[in-house]
Amino acid sequence: MWRKAGEVEVCRVKGLIWRGGGLLWRGGGLIWRGGGLLWRGGGFSKEVEVCSGKPSLSLMENRVCVRTPGSFFHRSSSSSEEEKISRYPVPYKKNLPYDLVELMEEGGFLPNVFKVLSHRPAEFRAFFSYYNLLMNKETGGLSKADRELIVVATSAHNNCLYCVIAHSALHRIYSKKPRLADQVAVNYKLADLTARERAMLDFALTVCRSETVTDAHLSSLEAHGFDREDIWDITAITAFFALSNRMAHLTDMRPNKEFYNLGRVPRDKTSTGTKNARL
């Protein structure tokens, strides 16, 4: 079915996008042609923008949009209004470096932190490079569940909604404990923690509150099996997420709805794994 650009409905297509000569094609067929014609087919597409006769991809995943002068159309599963995720503009994917686009597309869904922090691409790249070094390393005495628990506890102290929700989800996935992160987010001192976990979080909160770190703190951690490199990791994670928490406050970053159920209900074994889950 063909429609004029000013009367567009959502279009769905399959395959890869190709641009050139006024045509935009994505496997399933033609979805735009210079005169404002659209084709509706089966499948699913990323957002498509048509402005001033030039089609292009935008940042947003999981919906199809066509923009023409004076009109904006999109598919939304919950509302006709775009969900607000930041006080700052979210850039179109076409304006981002290719390596950052690849990074964004690795997961099963696109966490809002990727969209929000891409407002400054160079800083975005540095941020996630350090994030991966801290949170996805395979060495050291801290498990991935330990690392996520540190983020939950310190982010709760800093009143960061986004980080508490997102990293509680990752802790549930890694630990297979569906309730512990919720307890830590409310009051870690009353949570069902092991003595080792409690010592770890006590120290993380000492760092988070900018209290003086003494040799006694280090000796206490070593008594629970942590070495000096593990203590460095606890401190670095706490410090890094102090930055993340404050950027989330500035931007009014909102958690993806997907985070709320992750790790609470059984997953389809064929779904995307979480070996290097993010945010």
Domains and CATH numbers, the chain: 2-82 (no CATH), 101-260 (1.20.1290.10)
DSSP state of 37: B
CB-based burial label for 258 (10 Å; 0-12, 13-18, 19+): middle
Ramachandran assignment for 182, one of left (phi > 0), alpha (psi -120 to 50 degrees), beta (any other): alpha
How many other C-beta atoms are found inside a 10 Å radius of the C-beta of residue 183? 16
DSSP state of 151: H
- According to DSSP, the residues that pair with 3 across neighbouring strands are 38
Residue 165 contacts residue 253 (beta carbons within 8 Å):
no
DSSP state of 180: H
Residue 8 contacts residue 45 (beta carbons within 8 Å):
no
Ramachandran assignment for 176, one of left (phi > 0), alpha (psi -120 to 50 degrees), beta (any other): left
Predicted TM-score of the model (pTM): 0.66
Q: pLDDT for 135-188, tens place per residue?
A: 999 899 999 999 999 999 999 999 999 999 999 999 999 999 999 999 999 999
Q: pLDDT for 219-265, tens place per residue?
A: 999 999 999 999 999 999 999 999 999 999 999 999 999 999 999 97
